[in-house]
Structure 1
């Protein structure tokens, strides 16, 4: 089976459209979304529509949930962006968009393959590369809830954490390719469509062909998104800078 997994779109419709075009060009017709469709970007309405029309499984991210339930606990600039995002979705006049986000899954699993936003324990939990040394207990707890492979997003950094030996390999280190071997559990981060954090500003998603996995990087007109962000008072200027740098 061939399918694509993407996440952390964050209201960046230019990036999402480029990714979906690339997915279609590769002949992939099954797409999973790991959440954070909205937040931090200028086009939440368009992104919700594109995901709703394209993805056969959608998991709710922490930004999606906070936009719906309240942004307490987020830093001020993110809270402002989430409040603005909700205003845009409400002003668009179709309540089904908010209903779609409310009805998105907390997680999904089938045949030992799981899809989460953050980790098997929580949509809010980050699985960082540094945890291999700094917090191996957290990773062991995540693996205890993983049968074979867990696909996640949330950190915006593509790569894989293996259970044995406990280790992290970035997508860059792996030349954007990972072969899953049965018997060794893996926590696979699909990267970010709309807010990459690995130093590469191109949009990122994961293509899966049975046990073969490919991180795909897709160029898109970053400047268009940057210019739209610059015109929005609710959006912090550093969001545009981070888009340009992929950091």
Structure 2
């Protein structure tokens, strides 16, 4: 399947001020998403952009989709959104995890309406934002794949080859790996958002990126938002989520043990 669809374009006039929030990897943790959306509102953010993985692996997939659709201006697809639509296929995850992850995808899909599934299926996979003379290229994993992994400790050469070759931009934003970081390589700013619902960097708080553009200057910052982790963990029990013990530990610790 060709995962790349048409670009979404969002233009601002030269000289305008913009405050943008980029969020990703909610994974059905609507309680964490509630906290992030409240923080975004308190900061006076004008545009909220979602870089995929909305529903799968959390206890509240439907409410997560509803919140995203209500509060976001642009939304693109992640690999987990694709899994909800058509299931997890062999070769996409370790063989020993395949059956359980397929069960989780089936459970998630059963919580959603046909409209929800069609919404996920129809999402685009890349986003370009132009503001003044600045250009942002945003995607879930890489510009060419929903599944490829680019890690914070990969070489400069790999980051440039995997993330920056398709479009010339000032800033490249992505999700997928659940590890918030920022690097500048030969003038290109590469930023991972971290995860709203399932951070893997050892900080059990929701993560997103704030981008502020004024005239032709651009500033970025990671924002960490505390939320009621115990309430989120309780939700896994209330809905009797498959694989709930593992997922509860990830939420509690902010990392995979």
Which category of TM-score, normalised to the shorter sequence, fits these structures?
A: 0.7 to 0.9
Q: For structure 1, list consecutive stretches of 5 or more residues without a partner in the other structure.
A: 165-183
Partner of 1:126: 149
Partner of 1:85: 108
Give TM-score scaled by structure 2 length. Answer: 0.82
1:192–1:203 contact (8 Å) kept in structure 2: yes
State the secondary structure of the residue aligned to 2:112: helix
Q: Are 2:154 and 1:151 equivalent residues in the alignment? A: no
Take 2:158 and 2:139, find their aligned partners in 1: how far apart are those partners?
Answer: 19
Partner of residue 160 from structure 1, selected from 175, 182, 185: 182
Mapped partners of 1:229, 1:79: distance in 2: 17
Comparing 107-116 with 227-236, greater Cα deviation is found at 227-236
- Structure 2 unaligned spans of 5+: 1-17
Instruction: Give TM-score scaled by structure 1 length.
Output: 0.85
SS in 2 for 1:114: strand
CA distance in 1, matches of 2:178, 2:229: 17
Superposed displacement of residue 26, structure 1: 0.8
SS in 2 for 1:2: strand
How far apart, in 1, do the equivalents of 2:123 and 2:37 lie? 20
RMSD across aligned C-alpha pairs, in angstroms?
1.6
Cα deviation, 1:183-217, whole Å, max 9, x if unaligned, reads x1122111100001111001011111021111111
1:140 aligns with 2:161: yes
Paired residue for 1:11? 28
1:16 is paired with a residue of what secondary structure? helix
> Counterpart of 2:122?
103
Report Cα offsets for 1:36-76 as digits up to 9, x if no partner: 00111000000000001111110101000011012113333
Q: What is the Cα deviation at residue 146 of structure 1?
A: 3.8
| Structure 2 residue aligned with 1:171 | none
Specify which of 58, 61, 72 is matched with residue 44 of structure 1. Answer: 61
Structure 2: how far apart are the matches of 1:115 and 1:245? 28
Q: How far did 1:29 drift?
A: 2.7
Query: What is the aligned counterpart of 1:234 among 206, 225, 242?
Result: 242
Q: Structure 1 residue runs of 4+, over 6 Å off?
A: none
Conservation of the 8 A alpha-carbon contact between 1:81 and 1:234: yes
Greater share of strand residues, 1 or 2?
Answer: 2
Instruction: Provide the C-alpha distance between the structure 2 equivalents of 1:3 and 1:52, rounded to a whole number of angstroms.
Output: 16
> Does the 8 Å CA contact 1:16/1:47 hold for their aligned counterparts?
yes
Quote the residue 2:12 is aligned against: none
